[in-house]
Amino acid sequence: MFFCKPDWRKNPGDPYTNEFWETRLTEEWIVAHPRPFTIKGTVTGLNNSPLTILSPSDGSYTTVVTNGSFTLSVFASPKYIQLDFPTQPVDVHCMVWDRGTWTGDGFINTKVTCPFVRTIVGGKSLLWDRCTYGSSWNPEGTSIGVGKGDCTFGALQALVFCTASDGYNASTNPNACNGGVNTALVDKGPVYASCLDRSNSNAYGRKNWRLPFFAEMFSIIRCSATNTGEITGEDGCSTVGDTTKYPGATADPVLFPNAQAARYWSTQTFQALGDQQTYMVDFNIGNQSYEFKDASGYVRCVSEN
């Protein structure tokens, strides 16, 4: 009697063959084994310097010098594909916003965008939300130009540093929102909650958002298109600027699309006048300012890279 053994090693049910992995339905048809394919997408939010996009699986990379389309040929696992950025732009910081759609031959509509502005303060690399709190980054926004992105998701909000519901009383409890003493940083209230909300919601993939120190905010003030000076204290732009200020606010209108010509809160209480005020930076005239804790101001959250 003869027995025939089926040739199971040459059919799609054999996990040792390419046919098995090509036809396996996992994570929206994305195969797990390494193979050559292409990634096609767009980059938005670049400003004045290029971005390098790298596939760490095989070392393939491409450098994008301006906003627009890119194509990257890789040999990797489509299911576990990653994109890194070994060379970030000088003034912005970029991320993968959307991996895109797998077609069987590669990914299409991959979105890479740059929702952060990067500055260096005291040796620390700071990543700033490009949008005033309440609004958020729209990688496809065109209000400041095609490919530049903008802040048209949501609406910016003016916030109070500390309210009566937080226990604030200008005479009897002025430090209700900063640990009970004027040397402590803000630890509750609407302004504190704004950046905590950014962390809790993992905004742009980051969980370490906080309110900035007022001195850190000087790093994003622009008194003019040619400003090269260091901005500090109450003099602000009067010491380093000229008469050619940016329209609307002393912040780069491309880097910060909806920057307000108004005061932005810091995390520090002003230790004078009965502890009733908080340090702010005025993005109208580009200087250090102060405001009463029950007044309104804007927030720009920051994270450390």
Residue by residue, DSSP assigns 166-178 as: GT-BTTTBTTTTT
d(CA 225, CA 271): 34
* pTM, entire model: 0.86
**Which H, E and C letters describe 285-298, residue by residue?**
CCEEEEEECCCEEE
Contact 39, 71 (CB under 8 A): yes
How many residues are recorded in the chain? 305
* CA 299 to the chain's CA centroid: 14
**Residue segments in the chain with a per-residue pLDDT below the cut of 70:** 1-29, 225-230, 241-249
d(CA 227, CA 134): 29
d(CA 106, CA 78): 8
φ/ψ region of 225 (left if φ > 0, alpha if ψ in -120 to 50, else beta) reads alpha
**Which H, E and C letters describe 49-68, residue by residue?**
CCEEEEECCCCEEEEECCCE
| β-pair type (106-121, 35-44) | parallel
User: How distant, in Å, are the alpha carbons of 118, 227, 237, 284 from that of 248?
Assistant: 22, 16, 14, 7
* Sequence letter at residue 258: N
pLDDT, tens digit, for every residue of 39-79?
999 999 999 899 999 999 999 999 999 999 999 999 999 99
Q: What is the pLDDT of residue 276?
A: 94
3-state DSSP helix/strand/coil % of the chain, to nearest 5: 15, 35, 55
Q: What is the pLDDT of residue 140?
A: 96
Q: What is the pLDDT of residue 41?
A: 98
In b/e form, how buried is each residue of 19-54, taking b as 16+ CB within 10 angstroms?
eebeeeeeeeebbeebbebebbbbbbbbbeeebebb
